[in-house]
Amino acid sequence: MKAKSKLVKPKKPLTCTSKTSLSNEQFIELYRYLKLTRMFDEKTVRLKKQAKLTGGVFTSLGQEATAVGTAYALKPQDFFAPLIRDIGACFVKGIEPRTIFLQYFGRRSAPSRATDVQFHFADLDKGFVGPISHLGDLIPVMTGVLLAARMKKEDRVAVAYIGEGASSTGVFHEGVNFAAVKKLPLITVIENNGYAYSTPTDEQSAVESFVDKAVGYGIKGMQTDGNDIVACYETMKEASVYARAGNGSVLIEALTYRRKGHAEHDNQAYVPAGEIDWWAKNNDPVVRYERFLTKNRILSRKNMLEIENELKDFLQAESEWAENQPLPEAEDAAMEVFDNNVVKPAFKKKVLEN
């Protein structure tokens, strides 16, 4: 697998790049988001095993740094379209864990009102263009968002996250090509995590590196270590400065690894023995960042434990609150299906005014 081959024998324990403009306060904030992402995923897996959640649970174990680090370089007005491994980007851009718990618990007051799961909803004030299941389709959507921003003379860039598998879709090509032609500030992040469902990367594409595809579109290509959170931040910072200045689109390839199956139901029988353990032991993005933080005396082990305990209590409170919200009622299913002018007043009275 290509992402691994570059790192077959790390000579010494991996940490993060020290070439950065981040301040100590920002390093700590970044750590909170990284840990929050991992701990949120761990919690949803536990809740799933307790049969408390609806739908599949998709985690980003082992690749959290890509979404968190890249999103951290964005401005509040910037748009982003995450996919299933990018919950960390949602947190960085201000989506609260309780909102995603509401979705997972299928509660009536969830943004999708229990008609969809996970973070399949949108919050445009936070720049969040909600994911849909049809992989690749959000790339042309983001070009539309950017064309609208251009007409309104708004200063925005947009990030479309995509797996290396979904980069094989026709709509990926159409979207990236259109953005390139129109010189839109679209930054497409290909998360090369080794597998698309059970298909390994070398059966997905004949290119040596996905970043090479940028040449074919006539846009800037960048490759980054997706498990080095500081490198992810710096790569996106450079890309966004370039795109914001009117130079056009960027394609970023982040090299990472999916340590869990496609979702919790996937037993990963197709993964060669020892591969997952290798990544867990040698290239875990949280461990790497913790090493970096202690080495540079930004946080001690004790400080990290305090943060972990704080986040544990926070997530417990968020999930308990969501779990205690009411379930939907039968008539809610009619919303957005039949004439909302008829359904909405009753819905408004019952739900929104409660």
Ligand X SMILES: Cc1ncc(C[n+]2csc(CCOP(=O)(O)OP(=O)(O)O)c2C)c(N)n1
Residue ranges in contact with ligand X by CB under 6 A = 85, 133-136, 163-166, 169, 191, 193, 195-197, 258, 262
Comparing CB distances to ligand X, the nearer of 150 and 262 is 262
The distance of closest approach from Cβ of residue 115 to ligand X in the complex, given in angstroms and rounded to an integer, is 18
Comparing CB distances to ligand X, the nearer of 141 and 334 is 141
Q: Cα 229 vs. chain centroid, distance in angstroms?
A: 13
Comparing CB distances to ligand X, the nearer of 78 and 164 is 164
Dihedral sign for Cα atoms in the order 325, 326, 331, 333:
positive
167, 210 contact by CB (below 8 A): yes
Nearest position to ligand X, beta carbon: 163
The distance of closest approach from Cβ of residue 168 to ligand X in the complex, given in angstroms and rounded to an integer, is 8
288, 227 contact by CB (below 8 A): yes
The distance of closest approach from Cβ of residue 320 to ligand X in the complex, given in angstroms and rounded to an integer, is 30
Comparing CB distances to ligand X, the nearer of 165 and 175 is 165
Unique residue bearing structure tokens 């710096």: 234
Q: Please provide residue 221's backbone torsions phi and psi, each rounded to the nearest 5 degrees.
A: -115, 140
Unique residue bearing structure tokens 């740094």: 65
Comparing CB distances to ligand X, the nearer of 191 and 228 is 191
Which residue, 336, 256, 318, is CA-closest to 1? 256
The distance of closest approach from Cβ of residue 169 to ligand X in the complex, given in angstroms and rounded to an integer, is 5
Question: What's the CA gap between 257 and 225, in Å, rounded?
Answer: 11
The distance of closest approach from Cβ of residue 324 to ligand X in the complex, given in angstroms and rounded to an integer, is 32
Question: What's the CA gap between 251 and 172, in Å, rounded?
Answer: 12
User: Could you tell me which residues come within 8 angstroms of residue 213 by beta carbon, excluding any fewer than 6 positions away?
Assistant: 167, 207, 221, 251
The distance of closest approach from Cβ of residue 129 to ligand X in the complex, given in angstroms and rounded to an integer, is 17
The distance of closest approach from Cβ of residue 72 to ligand X in the complex, given in angstroms and rounded to an integer, is 20
Comparing CB distances to ligand X, the nearer of 48 and 107 is 48
Q: Please provide residue 3's backbone torsions phi and psi, each rounded to the nearest 5 degrees.
A: -60, -35
Comparing CB distances to ligand X, the nearer of 164 and 284 is 164
Which residue, 175, 173, 241, is CA-closest to 210? 173
Q: Cα 58 vs. chain centroid, distance in angstroms?
A: 11
